[in-house]
């Protein structure tokens, strides 16, 4: 199974820190943020990893991580030329995937405690569809909120004023290569981007979107507050 880390974006919420450097290269604990995802994949036995990055700081990513050999993984890089949304960034992985091949996607600013291994194993046993990881949060109105139906997700509401659950969809997704057809089927949102929630809702409408709930801590380190909180966690890695 391959891994994909989406690490583009401008990081506008972290200006001026991100004025000259991509947010995924900022330090969190004793390692750059991007290394957290690389470590999680490596420890789950996922050694073929695609990094989708923007032109901003692209050279710094390759200087830091190189081919991945030093970290025990094999890295490939793709440039997202413009801000087209998470689903558009995901579509850049299509040339690397074989028909029917499954893969795991991480948003590069998602930091979390759990091992990916048991969740990946559950996805391997899943006969069809996609799988996402959820986390119970105190402010679900900030996120995509799932409406749960037994062991599947009925639908996802994006930043609802009145959430129908206490959970959010984290930036940890699992798909097979059929997801690229789904991406092609959706239309840009009001902000002109291809939204990952729309992709996941296609699977949900077919009864093919399953989920697991993270046990340990999780944060989206995309704001000053969440970056500060993440830095206070025990994040140590071998990326160096």
Determine the Cα–Cα distance for residues 110 and 116; give it in Å rounded to an integer: 13
Determine the Cα–Cα distance for residues 156 and 138; give it in Å rounded to an integer: 17
15: tokens are 């200006």
Cβ atoms of residues 97 and 177 within 8 Å: yes
Q: How does pLDDT run across 197-226, given as a tens digit for each residue? A: 999 999 999 999 999 999 999 998 878 888
66 sits in the region (left: phi over 0; alpha: psi -120 to 50; else beta) called left
Q: At what angle do helices 58-65 and 33-43 cross, to 10 degrees?
A: 50
pTM of the full structure: 0.94
Q: How does pLDDT run across 125-169, given as a tens digit for each residue? A: 999 999 999 999 999 999 999 999 988 999 999 999 999 999 999
Burial class (CB in 10 A: 0-12, 13-18, 19+), 217: middle
Q: What is the mean pLDDT of residues 17-27?
A: 84
Determine the Cα–Cα distance for residues 212 and 17; give it in Å rounded to an integer: 34
Phi, psi dihedrals of residue 63, rounded to the nearest 5° = -65, -40
């Amino acid at each position: 199974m391959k891994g994909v880390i989406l690490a583009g974006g401008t990081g506008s919420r972290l200006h001026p820190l991100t004025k000259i450097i991509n947010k995924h290269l900022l330090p969190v604990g004793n390692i750059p943020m991007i290394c957290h995802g690389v470590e999680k994949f490596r420890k789950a036995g996922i050694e073929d990893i695609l990094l989708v990055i923007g032109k901003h700081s692209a050279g710094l990513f390759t200087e830091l991580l190189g081919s991945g050999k030093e970290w025990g993984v094999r890295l490939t890089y793709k440039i997202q030329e413009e801000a087209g949304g998470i689903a558009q960034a995901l579509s850049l992985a299509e040339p690397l995937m074989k028909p029917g091949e499954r893969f795991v996607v991480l948003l590069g600013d998602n930091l979390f405690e759990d091992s990916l291994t048991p969740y990946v194993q559950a996805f391997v046993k899943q006969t069809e569809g996609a799988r996402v990881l959820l986390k119970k949060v105190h402010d679900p109105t900030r996120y995509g909120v799932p409406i749960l139906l037994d062991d599947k997700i009925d639908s996802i509401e994006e930043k609802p004023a009145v959430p129908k659950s206490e959970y959010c969809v984290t930036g940890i997704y699992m798909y097979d290569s059929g997801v690229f057809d789904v991406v092609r089927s959706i239309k840009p949102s009001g902000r002109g981007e291809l939204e990952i929630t729309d992709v996941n809702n296609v699977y949900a409408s077919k009864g093919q979107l399953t989920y697991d709930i993270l046990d340990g801590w999780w944060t989206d380190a995309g704001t000053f507050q969440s970056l500060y909180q993440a830095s206070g966690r025990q994040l140590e890695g071998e990326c160096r």
